Amino acid sequence: MMIIATVIVVFVFYFITNGKNLNPNSIDALISQNAYVFILGTGMLLCILTGGNIDLSVGSVVCLAGGVGAIMMRMMKGIPGLAWPVAVIAMLAMGLLVGLWHGYWIAYVKVPPFIATLVGMLAFRGLANIIMKGEAVEVDNKAFLNIFGGGSDCYIPDFLKFLAPESSLNVTCFVTGIVLAAGYAVFTFFNRTRLIKKGYKVDSFVAVIIKTLLIVAVVIWFSYKLAGYRGIPTALIWIALILGIFAYITTKTTLGRNLYAVGGNEKATRLSGIDTRKVMFSAYTLMGVLSGFASIVNIARLQGSTPTYGVGYEMDAIAACFIGGASAYGGTGSIGGVIIGAALMGIINQGMSLASTPVNYQKVVKGIVLIVAVLFDVIMQMKRKGGKKKATSAAATEKGGANA
């Protein structure tokens, strides 16, 4: 459903902005500007799955970890800063520490997540200010910027240019897209045959073909657009990596399963022999690590850190999850939903910017989009219940008739 909504929104803005929103550079900007939403949204989803719990501190954590990283890489009185891998590890470690801290209070001491992370939101913002002494810190480490999606050269070099030297497209990008799409298609069909051989049930052939074709088309279109600008932004690689890993965790591992189960019925989960405290702890720990990672991408793109970075990021992440269909009561939601939610918000933001909508109106629109998405969820649920009730009363009358 949300996919259709996204497509509609894209077309609406296509007309409003005279097609500017589908220009290659717009698509490129969409990715790099919203990298943090994808990453934080992923972590937030884990927390929301456990029962609608949220983490309010992520914006402050991004700022704190980013500040630490920026300071470590800074040149001081002619002495070069620390090597960027050290800073990266430090930022991730910072996020991990915060995650462990929150996880401990929430899972084992049973502090309500809202309070625990509100405390984090205030305290870590303060710490960030203290560390940075209230000033902006610039990051000019070229290697760091290129790798994590900042500055002007943060693209995968076009080393396949020799294949078509006179093309205006970025050949590497386009080829990668085609290879990925082909690889996906081949894998799908081989896997299907393998499963049939093992005697497992599989989806019908037509359904698989349609799904595969759609995915292949989107991937190729996307890579074509990016190739028309400057190629694959490095930020995209990181986003894809994070989303891939967490899509795997949520669907294929016991940890992922337990996250859904705790949110769906905590008691049942406990009675199934699962340590629900550990599950909560893991969710917040992973959220912390992802905040650390988001801070890396963030200071790279902004080429520095200031004590005000990351304000409101938690709300973007939460909104992405809910727009993507996660339930505010926990137990449902997916990484796919987060992708859609984050993309939809990004598209709306960008579309409005291109159409020069005043900033304050943009906020109002964002708010309306969120309530519409949630309303949609609520109404769908009510409908389901109503339908069921009708069916029941029909059944009841039937029974009554039989008795008579």
What are the residues binding another protein (CB under 8 A)? 195, 198-201, 248, 251-254, 257-258, 260-261, 264-265, 267-269, 271-274, 331-332, 385, 388-389, 391-393, 395-396, 399, 402-403
**In Å, how far from its chain's centre is CA 306?**
23
Q: How far is the CB of 403 from another protein (least distance, A)?
A: 5
> Would you call 79 helix, strand, or coil by DSSP?
strand
Q: Which is nearer to another protein, 258 or 291 (CB)?
A: 258
Integer Rg of the chain from CA:
23
CA–CA separation, 123 and 239 (whole Å)? 28
Torsion angle of C-alpha atoms 141, 143, 147, 151, degrees rounded to 10: 50
CA–CA separation, 11 and 367 (whole Å)? 21
Q: Which is nearer to another protein, 79 or 271 (CB)?
A: 271
Q: Which is nearer to another protein, 159 or 200 (CB)?
A: 200
Buried b (16+ CB within 10 A) or exposed e, 367-393: eebbeebbeebeeeeeeeeeeeeeeee
Q: How far is the CB of 104 from another protein (least distance, A)?
A: 21
Q: How far is the CB of 252 from another protein (least distance, A)?
A: 5
Q: Which is nearer to another protein, 118 or 255 (CB)?
A: 255
Non-local (6+) Cβ contacts of 264 within 8 A are 330, 331, 332
Q: How far is the CB of 141 from another protein (least distance, A)?
A: 35
Half-sphere exposure of 146 (CA within 13 A, CB side): 7
Q: Which is nearer to another protein, 250 or 306 (CB)?
A: 250
| Token pair in block for residue 375 | 């309303």
Q: How far is the CB of 327 from another protein (least distance, A)?
A: 8
Q: How far is the CB of 111 from another protein (least distance, A)?
A: 19
Q: Which is nearer to another protein, 126 or 387 (CB)?
A: 387
